[in-house]
Amino acid sequence: MLTVVFLLLLRIVYRDLKPENVLLDHEGHVRITDFGLSRDDMEDDEHGAMTFCGTPEYLSPEMIYHRKTQKGYGSSVDWWSLGTLMYEMFTGWPPFYDKNIRTMMQKILHAPLTFAPKFKVSQEAQSMIHGLLARELDDRLGANNNHQAIMDHPFYASINWDALKRRELNPPFVPTVKGETDITNFDTGFTKMPVRLTPEKTEKGLAKFEDFTFSERSQLNEDSNGDEDDLIDKMYKQDEAEDAIIEKEREKFDKEDERKRQETMKALKELEHKPK
Instruction: Give the Cα separation of 31 and 3 in Å (integer).
Output: 8
Q: Is 72 exposed, middle or buried (0-12, 13-18, 19+ CB in 10 A)?
A: middle
Q: What is the pLDDT of residues 126-138, one digit of tens each?
A: 999 999 999 998 8
Ordered structural domains, the chain, with CATH: 2-177 (1.10.510.10), 186-272 (no CATH)
Q: Is the dihedral of CA 114, 118, 120, 123 positive or negative?
A: positive
| Mean pLDDT score, 118-129 | 96
- Residues annotated as catalytic (active site), given as ranges: 16
Q: What is the pLDDT of residues 203-236, one digit of tens each?
A: 544 344 333 333 333 443 444 454 444 544 444 4
Q: What is the pLDDT of residues 136-155, one digit of tens each?
A: 988 999 888 888 899 999 99
